[in-house]
Structure 1
Amino acid sequence: MLLLLDGSPTSYAALAAGVEIAGQTGAEVFGVFVEEINLLRSAGFSFSREVGSVSGISRPFDTALIERRMQRVADRARQILAKAVPEKGSGLLLSVARGRVVDEVLALAGPDDLLVLGRVGWSSEPGARLGSTARSLIRRSPGRVLLWCDRQAVAKGRVVVFLNDHDDANKRAVTTAAEISRRSGQPVTILLRPRTELSQERLEKLEQDLGVSEAGIRVRVLPSTNPAVIAHTVRQEQASYLVVSRECSLFKEPGANPLLVALNLPVMVTP
């Protein structure tokens, strides 16, 4: 399991969630902090300035300042990670790399790795739009990506999985939904695209794959793929998790980003 840390509160909330999952699954935990090279390059220009997010005051933006700031964030991330996984000690828990965040993370991530990160970074406010790093990693990561939200705790509800007409992708999404359901003891809702028919044979196969009794599964056919409609349906289901494949046509539609922004809940994106 890879935990991407950037010093933001959301990334530390994602760390806590990742450590909990690792404790339940026995996965190895590996933290990653990337010193963004483009930020350092920008600071190298004599005319560079930064504006305080609270004060609004413009001040010099230089390389030495950014270096010190990044070092503090890395040290803090290392301390928090060591405290969260005390049995591992303070050894090779945190990898510090310098480069472009997405490139460095993809160089470490394998198809069997779960990548856990906050849905927004240090430069965004909680509940804001989906961060650019998160958007890129959703599209390009070879394995699963868990986008964690800014809520303090995830309410008990239902695991909602969005299915498509891509059988292999659906199988991976259902397998992941089953894992989450078993860990959390929560029932599952299957969302189908409009005008999709689910035969009894297919429903029985889904029940078998999910390992959930018929009483623990609810199937809903969406009236449309409008992001607002999907978000409303997910809320009606009192979802605590949303599982969706990156192969799902939902991600090929303009409304994918607004949908993920509107849903302030953990989203597991599967291959």
Structure 2
Amino acid sequence: MTEMTRKPEGTPPGPVPERRILVLLDGSRLSLETLETVADLARASNARVLGIFVEEVNLLRSAGYGFAREVGRSSGITRPLDVESLHRRLDAMAVNIRRAFEQMMAPHGVAGSLTTCQGKVAEQVLTLAQPADLLVLGRAGWSGGSGARLGSTARALVHQAPGDVLLCPAFTGGVAGRVVVLLNHDQGANHRAVRVGAELAHRNRSPLTVLVRADGEDDRRLLTDLTAFLRQEGIAATVKCLTGAGAIAMARAVKVEGAGQLVVSRGSRLFSERGAAEALLCALNIPVTVTP
């Protein structure tokens, strides 16, 4: 999904960047399940898919110490962590990821490739990402723990990715319901999130709602200007105001709208207020697209 802008008449068209969907894979069941959502998105948007598997350099470095130990996830047994066995496991994981990637893309007729790299996850992904790309993070990629938390890697990607980031929950058999765009009261001039929401609504044949998180300052003028912009762009949407809404209240409002997808700008205070984004994610189990 890319920002749509109007060029002056007579301006020669520039090269159209290739539409790509980047998906971060770690070999877990949840990350591989995300491939089904990615394949559907790629087919609908005629995009190419780039799967990314990063061998975490800090893990490899820690395996070089004689005192390093690992604990079995299910057994709880502690055993030495050595470089050779870790490399073998990572190689086997890469083979399994490549097999799953190819098996999921081929039936959908989606063009794609898988790249394996070594380093810090966020740095490697940001090196590969371009402004026109959509980066997809499955729930397993949000955090190493349980629950809907944004870990350090996901938070870095949400704040620094040059394009849109899709935080995707476990696959639920398709996206249904209204597309909801959430804006701050001071984001009236930031229309990228609205355009992305409109594109999603058009693609999924879903209604669109724009919720404006207001502080009671010039609310009427803001809503009037936003409604005028939507009319000018030919975007059919319902515009509503949320006065002083916190994360839980916003989640409740999104649910009341019957949202199947949420779009929010990373300029939203959700991503600057401590714990607000996590509170919203915990309360919702729908795809959330974060725009620059």
Within-5 A mapping of 1:31-70: 31-70=51-90
Per-residue deviation, 1:123: 7.1
Aligned amino acid, residue 133 of structure 1: T
How far apart, in 2, do the equivalents of 1:167 and 1:192 lie? 9
How far apart, in 1, do the equivalents of 2:234 and 2:37 lie? 22
**Alignment CA distance shift 1:182-1:106 (3 Å):** same
How far apart, in 2, do the equivalents of 1:159 and 1:42 lie? 44
User: Does structure 2 conserve the Cα–Cα contact (< 8 Å) formed by 1:148 and 1:266?
Assistant: yes
Q: Which 5+ residue runs of structure 2 have no aligned equivalent?
A: 1-20
Deviation string, structure 1 residues 32-86 (Cα, Å, up to 9, x no partner): 1111110111111111111222222212212122212211221111111112222
**Alignment CA distance shift 1:74-1:88 (3 Å):** farther
**Alignment CA distance shift 1:29-1:155 (3 Å):** closer
How far apart, in 1, do the equivalents of 2:40 and 2:280 lie? 27
How far apart, in 1, do the equivalents of 2:175 and 2:56 lie? 34
User: Does structure 1 conserve the Cα–Cα contact (< 8 Å) formed by 2:261 and 2:288?
Assistant: yes
2:279 aligns with one of 232, 253, 258: 258
How far apart, in 1, do the equivalents of 2:76 and 2:143 lie? 14
Deviation string, structure 1 residues 99-123 (Cα, Å, up to 9, x no partner): 0010000000011111112133397
Over the aligned positions, Cα root-mean-square deviation in angstroms equals 2.4
1:121 aligns with 2:141: yes
Per-residue deviation, 1:134: 1.4
Per-residue deviation, 1:126: 5.8
User: Does structure 1 conserve the Cα–Cα contact (< 8 Å) formed by 2:223 and 2:239?
Assistant: no
How far apart, in 2, do the equivalents of 1:189 and 1:99 lie? 41
How far apart, in 2, do the equivalents of 1:152 and 1:126 lie? 18
Within-5 A mapping of 1:173-212: 173-194=193-214, 195=216, 196-197=219-220, 198-200=222-224, 202-209=226-233, 211-212=235-236
Structure 1 equivalent of residue 288 of structure 2: 267
**Alignment CA distance shift 1:240-1:148 (3 Å):** same
Structure 1 equivalent of residue 192 of structure 2: 172
Structure 2 equivalent of residue 136 of structure 1: 156
Deviation string, structure 1 residues 156-192 (Cα, Å, up to 9, x no partner): 1111101122345x31101110111011111111111
**Alignment CA distance shift 1:265-1:167 (3 Å):** same
**Percent identity of equivalent pairs:** 45
Could you say what secondary structure the match of 1:81 adopts?
A: helix
Aligned amino acid, residue 270 of structure 1: T
Could you say what secondary structure the match of 1:110 adopts?
A: coil
- TM-score, length-scaled by structure 1: 0.89
Q: Which 5+ residue runs of structure 1 have no aligned equivalent?
A: none
Per-residue deviation, 1:154: 4.0
Aligned amino acid, residue 176 of structure 2: K
**Alignment CA distance shift 1:189-1:92 (3 Å):** closer
Higher mean C-alpha displacement, 137-146 vs 221-230:
221-230
